Amino acid sequence: MRISILRRFGVMLAIACVGVFAPIMGIVIAVSSASASRIATTANVPRCATASLRILVGSGSGAMGTVAVEFGFINHSTKTCSLRGYPRVQMLTRSGQNLSTTDQRGTGYFGIKEKTVVLASGKTAYFGILYSNGTGYPNVTCPESAALKFTPPQDIRTITAYKSAQITPYGMISGHPRCGVIRVTPVTAANFQ
């Protein structure tokens, strides 16, 4: 009799524990599954093809000898795609020839960190270019670009922007004045200018 009561109590206690802890465990499992699903979804979004991108020329600003201009890659395809990393920039002459350009990774500017940006159709991945507008040497002059050629992150194909793509970057390399030194931020989902 005593054993029978103890067994019933044990079964009831087990059922009560399952009733209390199962929903909690279910929530934890659901959250974990949702997080894993979001990570898997982002990882499975294909990289944006250069042919599906257009260039956005945003606003510019300057302070203490540095100019910052916001640009963006607009997804004009009907499919969602992703970008991650640093674009490349090349200055061009009016005839389309390359001007001396040194594009460097600009880490930490505007608080932008390198991460994957998922672009639905019509959405934009923003990035900035920053450059000095003088060297402090009055006899050093640098040429102005007539256009800018952009290479999206992790690609080799390019997109050229002509409108509002006239920049005159100065810079220093190893303590010597040099034309065409540009710092580029990684792509980001939010505009910053």
Region 184-193: mean pLDDT is 91
The pLDDT value recorded for residue 22 is: 40
pLDDT at 9 over 80: no
**Cα distances (Å, whole numbers) of residue 171 to 34, 69, 147, 182:** 47, 16, 19, 8
Residue keyed to tokens 């279910």: 26
DSSP secondary-structure letter at 78? S
The pLDDT value recorded for residue 38 is: 43
- pLDDT per position as a tens digit, 18-60: 444 344 334 333 333 343 334 445 668 999 999 999 999 987 7
Residue 73: half-sphere exposure toward Cβ, Cα within 13 Å: 35
The pLDDT value recorded for residue 117 is: 97
Q: What is the CATH architecture assignment of 50-184?
A: Sandwich (2.60)
Query: What is the average pLDDT score of the chain?
Result: 80
* Tokens read off for 175: 């303590």
- pLDDT per position as a tens digit, 84-104: 999 999 999 999 999 999 999
Q: Residue ranges per domain, the chain?
A: 1-44, 50-184
The pLDDT value recorded for residue 34 is: 42
